[in-house]
Amino acid sequence: MVGIDVNVSTYNTEINSWKIVLHGLNWLLFGRGPATSPYPHAVAFIRSAPSEPRPDIQVQLGPYAFSFSEEGVIPYDRPAISAAINVSHPRSRGSIRLRSADPDAPPVISHALLDDDDMGRLIAGCRQVREILNGPAFAPYRIGERLPGPEVQSGDDWRDYLRRTAFLGYHPVGTCKMGTDRLAVTRSDLTVRGVDGLRVADASVMPSLTSGNTNATAMMIGERAADFIRQGQPEGRRNDKGEDEPW
């Protein structure tokens, strides 16, 4: 994340005080004010390098900024704006595992931002956004750089900063991926291999990330599942040994 302190009011001063009550009432009664919109007010897709054939970085800019602590992400207490930078197609692969046989126990989740290629793209995207926020367009409003801070310059500086502050982009996919290989959980008709009468109809069936947010894709996966069910689509194929096909 990259951000700057500014000399105008932002969400940091509007929703972290008694004003949040007024903004809530303004939204409820009149449909106006800060409560009518989410964090990102602008989204851009950029290339981490001119040689990239298509944009590989997503940037979300909003009138809000965070601070980072050992307890996690917390709201910043002064006016600021920030941009979240995401690698659209990361090579890194995290994992989600059962903690125990207790179904109520939280799973063990590792995001694993370990791939050097991902880190290089992320640093390149952050540097581009830093240049924009420190450019002439923001000069009338900019007080100074908030994140990562002017002391972060070298590649090692960026890697250290990102490993300390990177957080989830809320678009995980692939935990029940669709496919024909042995790691595939679901078939192309969204049925679960080895389980009768069960379909998965959310972003977890996507084998890989889309370039943008996953919401629209997840909605269409749900529509497709509804089509299969309405049409009485057979639930997968099995051979004479009762095994799923194809593997």
Question: Quick one: how far is CA 53 from the chain centroid?
Answer: 22
Instruction: Say whether pLDDT at 143 is over 50.
Output: yes
pLDDT of residue 3: 96
pLDDT in tens, 99-118: 999 999 999 988 777 789 99
Domains with residue ranges and CATH for the chain: 2-165 (3.30.560.10), 171-247 (no CATH)
Does the global pTM surpass 0.75? Answer: yes
Mean pLDDT (whole number) for 234-239: 55
Give the closest residue to 236 by CA, choosing from 179, 173, 175: 179
Q: Which residue has the tokens 């992320």?
A: 122
Look at residue 246 and give its three-state secondary structure: coil
pLDDT of residue 170: 79
pLDDT of residue 35: 86
Contact of 62 with 39, CB cutoff 8 Å = yes
Give the closest residue to 62 by CA, choosing from 6, 21, 118: 6
Give the closest residue to 41 by CA, choosing from 61, 65, 11, 23: 61
Q: Quick one: tokens of 120? A: 């290089």
Mean pLDDT (whole number) for 205-230: 93
Is 89 catalytic? The answer is no
Q: Which residue has the tokens 């943008």?
A: 212
pLDDT of residue 37: 85
* Lowest-confidence segment of 146-155, 213-222, 228-237 by average pLDDT: 228-237
Catalytic residue among 23, 41, 111, 171: 171
Q: Quick one: tokens of 157? A: 């500086």
Mean pLDDT, the chain, integer: 89
Instruction: Say whether pLDDT at 229 is over 80.
Output: yes
pLDDT in tens, 172-198: 888 899 999 988 999 999 999 999 889
Cα–Cα distance list, 177 to 15, 73, 112, 224, 243 (Å): 39, 30, 18, 16, 18
pLDDT in tens, 17-49: 688 889 999 999 999 988 888 888 999 999 999
pLDDT of residue 238: 54
